[in-house]
Structure 1
Amino acid sequence: MKVVVCITGASGVCYAKRLLEVLRDKGVEVSLIVSESGKKVIEHELDVDLDYLIGLSHEYYENSDLFSPLASGSHIFHSVVVIPCSMKTLSAVANGYSSNLICRVCDVAIKEKRKLILMPREMPLSSIHLENMLKLSKLGTIIMPPIPAFYGKPKTVNDMVDFVVGRILDILGIPNDLFKRWGGI
């Protein structure tokens, strides 16, 4: 399985870091793309640098590299996860505006009917945001805001991050035990 992980300029890069760590531990092949704004958010929010995240992937591409193999539908990958997904990126993907590699990879996933997970990190949501999400959902995109559940009684921020990452792995079909699953009351 090959997963393309894209990091854009929205808060919540802790989710991307943890996803990359878990995918590496599970032996999943990962291609990584980080937007320029994503690089700034990594620098601001994480206690690691971009090189650490690149080290968790099998290959890294600059967002400006539209000649990357990932820009072609003939290149095989299983799925794309944009984590976190800025509203700028979500809007570009919803409207077919592939001006960078992240948006192009999402476009390829949609046209080739591959799994595309967008994790928008914004609130409150405007009608424009919701319309773009609905448009993408109708095309088969999975819109998955990183919202943790509290039935497992998380004790740390890491517990909440693991819940979200575990749910991503569920959608990707990767077995995991990162969080306590609902078992009723």
Structure 2
Amino acid sequence: MSQPSAPPIVLAITGASGVIYAIRLLQTLANADISVHLTISPSGAAVIAQETELQVNIRKPDLQALVSYVPKWSSVTAPDDATIDDFISNRLRYHQYDDYMTPIASGSFRTRAMVVCPCSGSTLSGIARAAASNLVQRAAEVHLKEHRKLVLVPRETPMSVLQLENMHRLAAAGAVMLPAMPGWYHGVKSLDDIVDFVVSRILDQLDLDNRLIQRWGE
């Protein structure tokens, strides 16, 4: 399959609960023929291990296992083997969290958007203060300074005043704050419906058509 001509999407997984949102998003992008630049923080890898039992070596992760992962409670089908193989070979590029020499660390490298999902409180703080201590935060700063879409998906409750201030500051700078707060109006029957609600809203922000949920009024 030929390389997609559209700029890629950057996806960062950090150390907040709810990594299934990122995995389901990654699977949806694989099926949608979208190119993705992926990075995972050390705490993100720890959460993946805790919530999925996948052991992620952030130096050389098993991308096949990550993209094909389906929880035992889920009835969702992972992308087929051919799609996953094409995705990993031609459209998915992994960057180590501490490598500042990667393309996504520079504003000259064109991207469509960036999603941090899930977004930890420390990542939120680092981006808000423009004090990048890893590639995730640097790439997010690049998207803000280049006025490209940056979607942050925090998943923590309750939130402190400092976290709320960071969210307000980032929203004012142009980021989309998209907390993992699923709705219940779309005929929820399973945990898959809850996951798909949040993933659908992320995809909407990326201007990617999807039918993961029953939309209001449809």
Shorter-chain TM band = over 0.9
After superposition, what is the alpha-carbon deviation per residue over 1:139-171, rounded to whole angstroms, capped at 9, x for unaligned? 110000011110112111111101110111111
After TM superposition, the score normalised by the length of structure 1 is 0.95
For residue 61 of structure 1, the aligned residue among 75, 86, 95 is 95
The separation in 1 between residues aligned to 2:163 and 2:32, in whole angstroms, is 34
Secondary structure, in 3 states, of the residue corresponding to 2:110?
coil
What amino acid is aligned across from residue 48 of structure 2 in structure 1?
I
What amino acid is aligned across from residue 11 of structure 2 in structure 1?
V
Q: Percent of pairs identical after alignment?
A: 45
Compute the displacement of 1:49 (Å): 4.7
Query: Larger Cα Rg: Structure 1 or Structure 2?
Result: 2
Compute the displacement of 1:69 (Å): 1.2
For residue 138 of structure 1, the aligned residue among 158, 163, 172 is 172
- Provide structure 2 residue ranges, at least 5 long, that are not aligned to the other structure: 1-5, 57-61, 68-83
What is residue 207 of structure 2 aligned with on the other side?
173
Compute the displacement of 1:53 (Å): 2.7
For residue 142 of structure 2, the aligned residue among 86, 100, 108 is 108
After TM superposition, the score normalised by the length of structure 2 is 0.81
The separation in 2 between residues aligned to 1:14 and 1:47, in whole angstroms, is 12
RMSD: 1.4
The separation in 2 between residues aligned to 1:114 and 1:176, in whole angstroms, is 21
Secondary structure, in 3 states, of the residue corresponding to 2:33?
coil
What amino acid is aligned across from residue 162 of structure 1 in structure 2?
D
For residue 20 of structure 2, the aligned residue among 9, 14, 18 is 14
What amino acid is aligned across from residue 40 of structure 1 in structure 2?
A
The separation in 2 between residues aligned to 1:49 and 1:99, in whole angstroms, is 24
What is residue 186 of structure 2 aligned with on the other side?
152
The separation in 2 between residues aligned to 1:143 and 1:49, in whole angstroms, is 29
The separation in 2 between residues aligned to 1:158 and 1:37, in whole angstroms, is 25
After superposition, what is the alpha-carbon deviation per residue over 1:22-79, rounded to whole angstroms, capped at 9, x for unaligned? 0000001001000000001101101545422376651001101111111111111111
What is residue 46 of structure 1 aligned with on the other side?
52
After superposition, what is the alpha-carbon deviation per residue over 1:103-162, rounded to whole angstroms, capped at 9, x for unaligned? 000000000000000001111011100100000000110000011110112111111101
What is residue 99 of structure 1 aligned with on the other side?
133
After superposition, what is the alpha-carbon deviation per residue over 1:68-96, rounded to whole angstroms, capped at 9, x for unaligned? 11111111111100000000000000000
Structure 1 runs, 4 residues or longer, greater than 4 Å off = 54-57
Name the count of aligned residue pairs: 184
The 5 Å alignment of 1:63-102 reads 63-102=97-136
Secondary structure, in 3 states, of the residue corresponding to 1:73?
coil
Secondary structure, in 3 states, of the residue corresponding to 2:10?
strand
